[in-house]
Structure 1
Amino acid sequence: MKMINVLNVSIHNFSAAELLRRLKCEGGVVFTTNVDHLMKLQKDRAFFQAYQEANYRVCDSKIVMYASKFLGSPLQEKISGSDFFPAFYTYYKHDKDVTIFLLGAAEGVAEKAMVEINAKVGRNIVIASHSPSFGFENNVEECHKIVDLINQSGATVLAVGVGSPKQEIWIHKYKDQLKNIKVLLGIGATIDFEAGYRNRAPKWMSEVGLEWFHRLLSEPQRLWKRYLLEGLPFFWLIFQQKLNIYQTPFVISPEFVAPNSQNIAAPKTQRTEASLMAEAQVAKQNTSKPIGQILQEAGLISSEQVAAVLQEQAEDNYRLRFGEILARRGWIKPETIDFLAEHLPNLAATKEKKPLGQYLKSAALLDDDQISTLLIEQRKTGKRFGEMAVHKGWLKAETIDWFLKYVAPELKSMSLV
């Protein structure tokens, strides 16, 4: 699968027709990458994590296409959410196994879009819709109700249009709770377009890369900052990438040291020589595996990412290591790879153990602010550290389970985890 690197995102370089075929066979999560996304991905860690785990990241911007050409690896087609979604429901108009749930837009707009789409298709392909309240993503109870609505609808496709990075982070956080959903699409303002509440740019403007200008003229108060201030550094970052001096963000910060508090300090346990030897044997067995297998078991990369890296290695005559390609693509931080490949084998033999948060910090999976937030909430609620990290969408449950099994097994039954 051909990928094109633009800043810290690897974009899938194929046509809308191929994407439709792949979704039919495999399903998956689709995000559409534009300049606004790429700039937010330079500073929003949760957004970046959600992006890494999307099955498909396609180009939603002529400007990003021009940038890829400047970088020497041109993207072949612009696949915007507002173009792809109509193509998607048209492609499945006769497939009654495909049904859609629309999530997003203002009150009544998604329902109007549902009526319009079904009229175009000639059947009820959109079977339910919901317009969430403002700030719903921060209301766990409302999010769970939305998940229940989607599950009860029986829909197999979820199209979310609540704006970025909100929609991508929400999809990433709740996708595993959606029982019947096979395809998840982040579609931005597309629901408004389908309902007829907003007008798209003329085709000629879209084709030459001026769709952003049309949107700016349509909503100047809301969009002037995005397009005229926040988007401008994009061109400098692309120039840096051209010169091979661009650096991916989210650099590891200083080592976390747990405060001296009964609620958060590492548990004091007596560890016998027998237990040390047993843990060392488990760690040895695990670290003898290929790094790709370790990362996949830890929930840090997908099988698709493993396949893509192996393909690139083969095409490049194995001049780059597996971990180097992962880091270059922005899928894994170098510190994470170093921790798992170099430091993990020595941990089991260490008698003095640390809090789970410190291990996750050493692996560059949590930063200071996130750990501080979790520790404060832990004092208030008494909940497990790892449980709260998963609930916030910062880590996967598989990652926590893996760390508890191979890195800190003595913490597994402790309330501090």
Structure 2
Amino acid sequence: MVEKVKILNIEIDNFTMKEFLKNLYHRGGIVFTPNVDHLVKLQKDRDFNRTYQASNYRVCDSKVLMYASKFLGTPIREKISGSDLFPEFYNYCKRKEEKQEEKDTKIFLLGAAEGVALKAQENINQKVGWEIIVDAYSPSFGFERNELECQKIIDRINESGATVLAIGVGAPKQENWLAKYHGRLKNIKTFLAIGATIDFEAGEKPRSPQWMSDWGLEWLYRLQSEPQRLWKRYLVDDLPFFWLLLQQKLDLYQPPFQPPFSPEPVAAGVPLGQILQDAGLISDKQVALALKCQQTQEDGLRFGDILVNRGWLAPETIDFFAEDLPQVANSGRLQPLGHYLKRAKLLNDRQINEILSEQSQANLRFGEVAVRKGWVKEETIKSVLRYLEGKDSFEGAALASA
């Protein structure tokens, strides 16, 4: 099991590039490349923090983080930035597969401005000698908020037959997109969040000179290349990192968020798996598979992390049943049922409004309408009500409406 180096609230895998390429090629997984900017964002953004904790690998993207690790007394052995990792990865695949008639690695590029990803595809395929990049797509601005475009991207990736997805749309967008949709990408084994790497591969943006990268000055090169876009990030937003690092050195640092999923039994000694199973959200088989994975994998993932990584449940759903629901039940301050189902990401606003409209016409309980429409299982409704009011039916004055 690889050693991990903790900087602030993130554990970084202490691989060398050679070790990591071998591991990644054979095992696959979700790869994030933390840098100073990521670590600062991770102090403020709960969703980004949750996303990061559920990744399989976190490798050091920054020479500054290497200096920080030495300052803390736990040195990181090698910088593995996304822009270094990606070409090393496809060249590693080339060496492994060049004598194979049927190639195993098929990469999909997602990111960069229109036409840039296609140019990167052309350049990489020319260098490798075959079509290792099977397709490329440059999404529109704000695509992550457009469910139709996201579905179009998912369909295109699935139809391409790709086994590797390299996404470069900037942090935290690329990491959050992977966390949300990776379970719907049928053939993808390896997920790489690689930032501006697609631009570099297309020749659209130059990388810093090697000596600047070696000395940890790549940020300065990028700043002078794109001052209007990057000055605030490097000269204002990222400065708190050094104060937080000093706090960690002095054992004064306090992580801003608790771990996203509790590894301990919740709700008066009931394991999380049983709670989710009783609510009709996962099956016996899924519980068994998740527990087996938890026992055999080396990444230290918790039960809830595994459910999210496999695309079985949204992180918000797990958070709700593991943490929010017990707290709400104990508070005695109850909200309408629709409020909780939305909080658990089991219903959206459109569905709630439709249920309310039908409820008023049919004189039915909110939960009954939700079940009739097939949007929520009866077991889920009963589980929430049982938690909040100790009832095993759709009754409950506080929860009968949305």
Q: Tell me if both proteins adopt one fold, taking TM over 0.5 as the criterion.
A: yes
- Tell me the equivalent position of 1:114: 121
Structure 2: stretches of 5+ with no match in the other structure: 98-102, 260-265, 275-285, 302-317, 357-365, 368-376
Give the one of 206, 209, 216 matched to 1:209: 216
1:303 aligns with 2:303: no
Q: Tell me how far apart the structure 1 counterparts of residues 40 and 332 of structure 2 sit (CA, whole Å).
A: 44
1:162 aligns with 2:169: yes
* Cα distance, 1:187 vs structure 2: 0.5
After TM superposition, list the pairs within 5 Å mapping 1:119-158 onto structure 2.
119-158=126-165
Q: Tell me how far apart the structure 2 counterparts of residues 72 and 59 of structure 1 sit (CA, whole Å).
A: 16
Letter in 2 for 1:13: N
SS in 2 for 1:248: coil
- Tell me the equivalent position of 2:78: 77
The answer to whether the 8 Å contact 1:283/1:406 transfers is no
- Tell me the equivalent position of 1:248: 255
The answer to whether the 8 Å contact 2:386/2:392 transfers is no
After TM superposition, list the pairs within 5 Å mapping 1:4-403 onto structure 2.
4-93=5-94, 94-95=96-97, 96-250=103-257, 286-287=270-271, 303=294, 307=298, 379-380=352-353, 382=355
SS in 1 for 2:108: strand
Q: Tell me how far apart the structure 2 counterparts of residues 62 and 351 of structure 1 sit (CA, whole Å).
A: 50
Structure 1 residues 118, 287: closer, same or farther in 2, change over 3 A? closer
Structure 1 residues 351, 238: closer, same or farther in 2, change over 3 A? closer
Structure 1 residues 284, 247: closer, same or farther in 2, change over 3 A? closer
Letter in 2 for 1:164: A
Instruction: Calculate the aligned-residue CA RMSD, in Å.
Output: 4.5
SS in 2 for 1:5: strand
Q: Cα deviations across residues 178-223 of structure 1 (Å, max 9, x unaligned)?
A: 0000000000000000000110000010011000000001000000
SS in 2 for 1:101: strand
TM-score, scaled relative to structure 2? 0.71
Q: Tell me how far apart the structure 1 counterparts of residues 335 and 287 of structure 2 sit (CA, whole Å).
A: 22
* Cα distance, 1:84 vs structure 2: 0.3
Q: Cα deviations across residues 157-192 of structure 1 (Å, max 9, x unaligned)?
A: 000001110000001100000000000000000000
Letter in 2 for 1:37: H
* Cα distance, 1:407 vs structure 2: 5.3
Letter in 2 for 1:212: W
SS in 2 for 1:54: coil
Q: Tell me how far apart the structure 2 counterparts of residues 14 and 164 of structure 1 sit (CA, whole Å).
A: 22
Letter in 2 for 1:16: M
Structure 1 residues 381, 145: closer, same or farther in 2, change over 3 A? farther
Q: Tell me how far apart the structure 2 counterparts of residues 109 and 289 of structure 1 sit (CA, whole Å).
A: 45
Q: Cα deviations across residues 231-272 of structure 1 (Å, max 9, x unaligned)?
A: 1010001111111111111479xxxxxxxxxxxxxxxxxxxx
The answer to whether the 8 Å contact 2:111/2:169 transfers is yes
Q: Tell me how far apart the structure 2 counterparts of residues 24 and 247 of structure 1 sit (CA, whole Å).
A: 36
Structure 1 residues 166, 381: closer, same or farther in 2, change over 3 A? farther
Structure 1 residues 177, 407: closer, same or farther in 2, change over 3 A? farther
Q: Tell me how far apart the structure 1 counterparts of residues 350 and 272 of structure 2 sit (CA, whole Å).
A: 37
The answer to whether the 8 Å contact 1:404/1:411 transfers is no
Q: Tell me how far apart the structure 2 counterparts of residues 17 and 176 of structure 1 sit (CA, whole Å).
A: 28
TM-score, scaled relative to structure 1? 0.68
SS in 2 for 1:92: helix
Figure out how many residues of one structure are paired with residues of the other and give that number: 335
The answer to whether the 8 Å contact 1:71/1:242 transfers is yes
Q: Tell me how far apart the structure 2 counterparts of residues 248 and 176 of structure 1 sit (CA, whole Å).
A: 29
The answer to whether the 8 Å contact 1:31/1:54 transfers is yes
SS in 1 for 2:253: coil
SS in 2 for 1:33: coil
Q: Cα deviations across residues 318-343 of structure 1 (Å, max 9, x unaligned)?
A: xxxxxxxxxxxxxxxxxx99x969x9
- Tell me the equivalent position of 1:394: none
The answer to whether the 8 Å contact 2:167/2:195 transfers is yes
Runs of 4 or more consecutive aligned structure 1 residues displaced over 3 Å after TM superposition: 282-290, 296-300, 304-310, 350-361, 374-385, 403-417
